């Protein structure tokens, strides 16, 4: 990790009285600010893996004394070891648990969320549409959409939440409100209505959808997994696998204005092509057991674990036992309109 230096190192020590006069005026001399001309981003966040085997028992323990009705959500947010809040500087991810019979009341907020269902089955209602969630399904709760969670089944539901809260708070743009009466919202649409309307490669002719986020609230694993496998069988690399991006079917763009999502398949003993990019990513393991090499360090993972690849860190994933299917969310769309995406791919055989 490189420490940024100032343009004139030691300037403040050489003339402390002058710089105190500046400080009294609430200004700083540009030539004393570390990183003004840093040639590359400072890698000030660290890779980290959160393990389901460690955290799911803690969710169960939380369930003995806190209900989603009282807590708003029974969710554990993963903090990058370098941060008080946020898995990366723009994203927060974590596990959420809802027990059979429980409900998490409706609310809406400017931060957006994606959910990746990991265990059990149940319903997230999004703007009046009950969305049925099963393992591997991706469900969206876009900005300022009413959402609540309900559990009609019999196995505890656990899913991965991924939100843009650190980014939105950084813009001083977080607003949140509770549904009137602090209840579940009214169901105004048929179950999975948006999947029927937008989820089969067809979109309603002359669609009146004007939002930036995807009109499709669910991307079912029963359709995404076979699509990924077919892609890999038809044109994927036998060693490095294949990746698909979840898109807004109307625009081809990311599912949510601030969050893109991906599904990666890596055959057993294969490894992804080493890359680094300015956006950060949070991966969640849907299938397989393996490890990632991030900036030369090894991070082991297995099913249901999630891990962060911070900005501008070289990384590569290796499937050790079984074929791996990795879900990922990223703050990539935040970088794109400002031409801040930089991505490099390491030539094959160069090592990570
Ligand atoms: C939130 O609203 C949910 O609605 C989950 O399920 C996790 C983490 C931070 C802020 C809001 C939810 C959250 C959250």
Ordered structural domains, the chain, with CATH: 48-204+211-345 (2.60.120.10)
Structure tokens at 183: 């209840």
157 Cβ inside 6 Å of ligand 1: no
Give the model's confidence band at 93: pLDDT under 50 very low, under 70 low, under 90 confident, else very high: very high
Q: Look at residue 153 in the predicted model and tell me its pLDDT.
A: 87
pLDDT at residue 352 above 50?
A: no
pLDDT at 145: 97
How far is the centre of ligand 1, averaged over its atoms, from the C-alpha of 73 (Å)? Answer: 7
Cα(293) to ligand 1 centroid in Å equals 30
Q: What is the per-residue pLDDT for 2?
A: 63
Q: Residues 268-288: what's their mean pLDDT?
A: 98
Q: Does position 146 have pLDDT exceeding 90, yes or no?
A: yes
Determine whether 320 is exposed, middle or buried from the number of CB atoms within 10 Å of its CB (0-12, 13-18, 19+). Answer: middle
In short, whether 161's Cβ falls inside 6 Å of ligand 1 is yes
* pLDDT above 80: residue 349: no
Mean pLDDT confidence for 235-257: 95
Alpha carbon distance, N-terminus to C-terminus of the chain: 16
**pLDDT of 162-202, one tens digit each?**
999 999 999 999 999 999 987 999 999 999 999 999 998 89
Instruction: Assess whether pLDDT exceeds 90 at residue 19.
Output: yes
Spacing, Cα 76 to ligand 1 middle (Å): 10
Query: Looking at ligand 1, which residue's alpha carbon is closest to its atom 6?
Result: 73
| Selected residue with higher pLDDT from 35 and 340 | 340
- Note the pLDDT of residue 236: 86
- CA distances from residue 302 to 15, 51, 115, 276, 285 in whole angstroms, order as listed: 55, 8, 19, 22, 6
Question: 116 by DSSP, 3-state: which?
Answer: strand
- Predicted local confidence at residue 25, as pLDDT: 98
| pLDDT for position 347 | 78
Beta bridge partners of 93: 162
Per-residue confidence at 229, pLDDT binned at 50, 70, 90? Answer: very high
Residue 233 three-state SS: helix
Which residue from 39, 80, 36, 111 is spatially nearest to 334, judged by alpha carbons? 111
β-sheet bridge partners, residue 157: 98
pLDDT at 20 over 80: yes
């Amino acid at each position: 990790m490189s420490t940024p230096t100032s343009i004139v190192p030691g300037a403040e020590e050489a003339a402390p009285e002058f710089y105190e006069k500046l400080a009294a005026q609430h200004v700083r001399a540009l030539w004393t600010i570390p990183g003004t001309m840093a040639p590359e981003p400072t890698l000030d966040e660290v890779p980290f893996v959160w393990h389901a085997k460690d955290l799911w028992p803690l969710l169960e323990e939380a369930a003995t004394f806190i209900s989603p009705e009282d807590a708003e959500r029974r969710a554990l947010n993963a903090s990058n070891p370098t941060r008080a809040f946020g898995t990366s500087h723009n994203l927060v991810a974590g596990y959420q648990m809802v027990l059979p019979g429980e409900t998490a009341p409706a609310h809406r907020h400017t931060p957006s969320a994606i959910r990746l269902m990991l265990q059990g089955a149940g319903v997230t209602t999004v703007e009046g549409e009950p969305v049925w969630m099963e393992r591997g399904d991706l469900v969206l709760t876009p900005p300022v959409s009413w959402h609540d969670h309900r559990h009609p089944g019999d196995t505890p539901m656990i899913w991965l939440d991924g939100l843009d809260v650190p980014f939105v708070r950084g813009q001083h743009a977080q607003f949140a409100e509770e549904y009137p009466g602090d209840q579940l919202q009214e169901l105004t649409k048929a179950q999975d209505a948006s999947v029927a309307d937008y989820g089969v490669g067809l979109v309603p002719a002359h669609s009146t959808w004007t939002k930036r986020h995807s009109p499709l609230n669910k991307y079912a694993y029963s359709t995404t997994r076979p699509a990924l496998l077919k892609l890999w069988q038809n044109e994927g690399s036998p060693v490095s696998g294949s990746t698909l991006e979840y898109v807004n079917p109307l625009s081809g763009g990311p599912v949510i204005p601030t969050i893109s999502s991906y599904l990666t398949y890596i055959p057993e003993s294969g490894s992804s092509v080493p890359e680094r990019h300015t956006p950060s990513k949070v991966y969640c393991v849907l299938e397989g057991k393996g490890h990632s090499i991030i900036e030369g360090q090894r991070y082991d993972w297995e099913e249901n674990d999630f891990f962060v690849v911070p900005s501008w860190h070289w990384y590569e994933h290796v499937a050790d036992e079984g074929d791996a299917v990795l879900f990922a969310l990223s703050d990539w769309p935040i970088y794109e309109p400002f031409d801040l995406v930089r991505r490099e791919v390491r030539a094959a055989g160069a090592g990570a």
